[in-house]
Structure 1
């Protein structure tokens, strides 16, 4: 009888979803980060073309149980200005961005997770992260949604609104100040860790 009980308990335990924890890296080809803002001429957006980072998360099947660590680095000089039709502007627009972000001195924008406040059963995440832009580090609240994909990858999507001046950045100007960008920006992220 004891042997049958042990076998039954063993079968029950094996049928439970296994909890796994592994370090995963950003899949740059499957990830997208966009920075969007406004100006006196038209709205603008920049795509970050070079990003890297790591994630350590605890998963049970297709459910994300916890995020233990998460980092993302974005190369400032890989940011490219996009038109509405998806084509690139000339490099003059990008140079204004690089100058405003002091890209020669601070070549990366860095995101480091500090604390996860909550993860819902549907994957909604509320967290505190330290974001460093142009050498200024700030702790900010970030919300998003995290999903475990069928191949075990974790996809994190969301949007964060902030002000350039919060990071001591003077909003860029063009054409001798005739065109001015607004202080408010949003960062939209759709990042896959594998």
Structure 2
């Protein structure tokens, strides 16, 4: 009888020890203030290519990191991009882009993960395929966005990637200039670089 009790106690200790390690492995991160943080939207027009970018946005994520500093799971990730912080250096282009993106009503572009699959590229950089909800100008679509993440020595995580977007899918009319002589293309690209720091 005593042997059975000892075995049961030992089994419970192993189970709870494993659960504790799982909890400890899960860490919460947020996008801090870093010069490497950047989000930009770029596209084409009848005259020239254009780019709008910003370093002002917020986001958070929950990663599982192993004792070997490997990303084993991405439980959650989201970001909020205030559209009015995007700047091209051309006031007319910015003004027309804000109007097209309906910033009087919808202030942010947002993304929230639903699921994710971690695929290692090598011992330190990871390709993470995320599925989630991208909202632009009040319209939400199911999308798959690829992240490429690197675990830094200080425990922070660098992530970058890009995603192609057709503005018409989000009911955004491509901006026009000069009475319609200059028109931007429907296809744009969202590019980003994040530095996640433990929160």
What range describes the TM-score normalised by the shorter chain of this pair? 0.7 to 0.9
| Count of residue pairs brought into register by the alignment | 172
How do 1:77-156 and structure 2 match up within 5 A?
A: 77-81=84-88, 88-89=89-90, 91-120=91-120, 122=122, 123-156=126-159
Of residues 43, 54, 62, the one that matches 1:37 is: 43
Q: Contact conserved, 1:28 with 1:51, CA < 8 A, in 2?
A: no
Larger deviation, residues 39-48 vs 110-119: 110-119
Task: Kindly provide the CA deviation profile for residues 125-163 of structure 1, in whole angstroms up to 9, marking residues without a partner as x.
Answer: 111121000000001011121111111111111111121
Return the alpha-carbon distance in structure 2 between the equivalents of residues 59 and 118 of structure 1: 12
Larger deviation, residues 21-30 vs 143-152: 21-30
Q: Which runs of 4+ in 1 moved over 6 A?
A: none
Return the alpha-carbon distance in structure 2 between the equivalents of residues 173 and 28 of structure 1: 34
Q: State whether structure 2 residue 72 is matched by structure 1 residue 69.
A: no
Return the alpha-carbon distance in structure 2 between the equivalents of residues 59 and 147 of structure 1: 11
Of residues 22, 29, 53, the one that matches 1:24 is: 29
Return the alpha-carbon distance in structure 1 between the equivalents of residues 179 and 132 of structure 2: 36
Task: Kindly provide the CA deviation profile for residues 24-59 of structure 1, in whole angstroms up to 9, marking residues without a partner as x.
Answer: 110243311111100001000010232001111111
Residue 94 (structure 1) shift: 0.8
Query: What SS class does the counterpart of residue 99 from structure 1 fall into?
Result: helix
Return the alpha-carbon distance in structure 1 between the equivalents of residues 38 and 55 of structure 2: 8
Unaligned runs of 5+ in 1: 1-16, 82-87
Return the alpha-carbon distance in structure 2 between the equivalents of residues 113 and 147 of structure 1: 19
TM-score, with structure 2 as normaliser: 0.81
Q: Rg larger in 1 or in 2?
A: 2
Return the alpha-carbon distance in structure 1 between the equivalents of residues 55 and 181 of structure 2: 29
Query: What SS class does the counterpart of residue 80 from structure 1 fall into?
Result: coil
Q: Contact conserved, 1:49 with 1:80, CA < 8 A, in 2?
A: no
Query: What SS class does the counterpart of residue 54 from structure 1 fall into?
Result: strand
Q: State whether structure 2 residue 168 is matched by structure 1 residue 162.
A: no
Q: State whether structure 2 residue 64 is matched by structure 1 residue 58.
A: yes
TM-score, with structure 1 as normaliser: 0.83
Q: Higher helix proportion, which one?
A: 2
